[in-house]
Amino acid sequence: MAEKLIEVVNLKQHFHMDKNNIVKAVDGISFDIYRGETLGLVGESGCGKSTTGRTIIRLYPATEGQVLYEGENVHGRKSRSALKKFNRKMQMIFQDPYASLNPRMKVGDIIAEGIDIHGLAKNREERTAKVHELLNKVGLHRDYAGRYPHEASGGQRQRIGIARALAVDPEFIIADEPISALDVSIQAQIVNLMKKLQRENNLTYLFIAHDLSMVKYISDRIGVMYYGKLVELAPADELYNNPLHPYTRSLLSAIPVPDPDAERARRRKLYDPTIHQYTVLEQPQMHEVTPGHFVYCSERELEQYTSRMAMARVGG
């Protein structure tokens, strides 16, 4: 059985805008991430997926709930040395390669920040060698070490960001919409690079995005978020072939089809949240409809989903 690397348990991230206004960006979600896998997290803008990633890595303190890394509470009290050790294990690749790199620093120094902080090079020659090795790993020539970020294209800057994340030999990387700011022609290159690096370095990814077709390509399992809630979680193929939650079905119906006739015939399924009317005694929760396929629903809806899956299995 696969080993759990990350356990997210009833995680909440609420922002108090003023006395009467609380934004529940993440509102009680639970899921696991297994060592060596890529878990995709999708949803429309503002659904809480990026906040989830930032809370997992401690950029935000959790309002409630737990994030366990190898059984240890990420948000628990830690000494300076313990926190430093933890920070080596978890790294983040940010959405905007333009804003995430210091324009006043040379690329070599940006990549070497983690090496310097954690003392991973004995001398300047070893530091330089490590930077050149990292540049080579992400498909850039060593000459980039002497350049500034503005001298690189968007795709090259994202490769620099990936090299910076790899510099401390992490086990787990959160990729927060790493391709959304890139040209379509470059997106596939970055995703293929990430898959290659995952194989070579035994990495585990949380891949956050809104492009469902690209998420399916890179992910082993996919979680779907809607306004702070995780509404569905399943293996990638299962989610695409047998979506259950109406919001998931709506997202999938919006994916363009690479066929002009089929695209003209495609009809978008709009999601209406008012269809979920629950009584006080009928509160929804995550249910496992089939092995590994979880849906946020009531007991009544669970019966409907179970019946639908049974019919799909017979029909398939």
Judge whether 16 lies within some domain: no
SS3 labels along the chain: CCCEEEEEEEEEEEEEEECCEEEEEEEEEEEEEECCCEEEEECCCCCCHHHHHHHHCCCCCCCEEEEEECCEECCCCCCHHHHHHHHHHEEEECCCCCCCCCCCCCHHHHHHHHHHHCCCCCCHHHHHHHHHHHHHHCCCCHHHHHCCHHHCCHHHHHHHHHHHHHCCCCCEEEEECCCCCCCHHHHHHHHHHHHHHHHHHCCEEEEEECCHHHHHHHCCEEEEEECCEEEEEEEHHHHHHCCCCHHHHHHHHCCCCCCHHHHHHCCCCCCCHHHCCCCCCCCCEEEEEECCEEEEECHHHHHHHHHHHHHHHHHC
Q: Look at residue 233 and tell me whether its pLDDT is greater than 90.
A: yes
Judge whether 229 lies within some domain: yes
Higher pLDDT, 242 or 77: 242
Q: Look at residue 181 and tell me whether its pLDDT is greater than 90.
A: no
Q: pLDDT-based confidence at 177, cuts 50/70/90?
A: very high
Q: Look at residue 316 and tell me whether its pLDDT is greater than 70.
A: no
Judge whether 222 lies within some domain: yes
Give the tens place of pLDDT for each residue, 251-277.
Answer: 998 888 777 877 787 788 888 888 887
Q: Taking a C-beta distance cutoff of 8 angstroms, is the pair 204, 34 a contact?
A: yes
pLDDT of residue 258: 76
pLDDT of residue 272: 87
Place of tokens 């269809």: 275
Domain count, the chain: 1
Q: Which of 27-31, 173-177, 208-212 has the lowest mean pLDDT?
A: 208-212
Q: How far apart are the first and last CA of the chain?
A: 27
Pairing of strands 285-290, 204-209: unpaired
Q: Taking a C-beta distance cutoff of 8 angstroms, is the pair 301, 285 a contact?
A: no
Domain CATH for 161: 3.40.50.300
Judge whether 139 lies within some domain: yes
Mean pLDDT of 32-51: 95
CA distances from 125 to 122, 162, 213 (A): 8, 22, 43
Range of the domain at 114: 29-48+78-239
Contacts of 133 (CB under 8 A, 6+ apart): none
Q: How far apart are CA 57 and CA 42, in angstroms?
A: 18
Q: Which of 62-71, 158-167, 265-274 has the lowest mean pLDDT?
A: 265-274
Judge whether 100 lies within some domain: yes
Judge whether 257 lies within some domain: no
Q: How far apart are CA 148 and CA 271, in angstroms?
A: 45
Q: Using CB atoms within 10 A of its CB, is residue 28 exposed (0-12), middle (13-18) or buried (19+)? A: middle
Q: Look at residue 144 and tell me whether its pLDDT is greater than 70.
A: yes
What is the rounded average pLDDT for all residues in the chain?
91
| pTM, 2 dp | 0.92
Judge whether 272 lies within some domain: no
Judge whether 57 lies within some domain: no
Q: pLDDT-based confidence at 315, cuts 50/70/90?
A: low
pLDDT of residue 16: 87
CA distances from 240 to 217, 247, 295, 306 (A): 11, 13, 14, 17
Record the tokens describing residue 172, joined without a space: 């787990």
